[in-house]
Chains A and B, each alone.
Chain A
Amino acid sequence: DAMVIQNPRYQVTQFGKPVTLSCSQTLNHNVMYWYQQKSSQAPKLLFHYYDKDFNNEADTPDNFQSRRPNTSFCFLDIRSPGLGDAAMYLCATSRVAGVGQPQHFGDGTRLSIL
């Protein structure tokens, strides 16, 4: 059974049109992460939530925002997508943000920009 669920699996949007990607988890984990993965590259951490505490990576563009209304759900908002934002977006969770805690990944949302 899927434990980290991302919707939609594929998303197409227009250049500059806001888009929201969603992630839900059934693990009741405290930490949720958003990664951007471009073709043949390693996933790049954008930000993460530890409970309600938001932690932004220093090099994450302002164009990317996130919301976590409750433990189970986390959203990635891209305010004005550019062509360079086309990528796979992965959501992950971990029970706590500590040493040895495995991250459980969703299957990702592949975002295309027209």
Chain B
Amino acid sequence: KNQVEQSPQSLIILEGKNCTLQCNYTVSPFSNLRWYKQDTGRGPVSLTIMTFSENTKSNGRYTATLDADTKQSSLHITASQLSDSASYICVVSAGGNNRLAFGKGNQVVVIP
């Protein structure tokens, strides 16, 4: 069964600080990995998408990394802002039919 595990489940950080979220997956065959940001009461919004050959991708203050050998990804948030408070969901695409395996998300709370 395809699985995506995220850690930590939740964390609280001070505004302006950095944080790193982890995603481990066992999805096979691997196609791509996406990080989504989901604000409370809203739908997920795509932050980054990486294929097998990509190691890192940035979107503003968000930087995602991928190690396809160890099946690990991370999302680094630089200089956090209050608006970064959200759930960050790691989603791995398996095979060629766009079937997605979702993690449960990292709940981030940024406090002033």
A residues with CB within 8 A of B: 4, 6, 31, 40-45, 90, 92, 94, 96-108, 110
In the complex, the answer to whether B102 meets A107 with C-beta atoms within 8 Å is: no
CA distance A20 to B9 in the complex (A): 33
B residues with CB within 8 A of A: 4, 31-32, 34, 36, 41-46, 49, 51, 89, 93, 95-100, 102-105, 107
Specify which of B36, B43, B97, B104 is in contact with A106 (CB 8 Å cutoff): B43
In the complex, the answer to whether A107 meets B32 with C-beta atoms within 8 Å is: no
Contacts known (A41-B104, A42-B89); A101 close to B98, Cβ less than 8 A? yes
Contacts of B107 in A (CB 8 A): 40
CA distance A103 to B43 in the complex (A): 11
Specify which of B44, B49, B89, B96 is in contact with A98 (CB 8 Å cutoff): B96
CA distance A99 to B44 in the complex (A): 19
Contacts known (A41-B104, A42-B103); A99 close to B98, Cβ less than 8 A? yes
Contacts of A97 in B (CB 8 A): 97-98
Contacts known (A99-B93, A107-B41); A40 close to B104, Cβ less than 8 A? yes
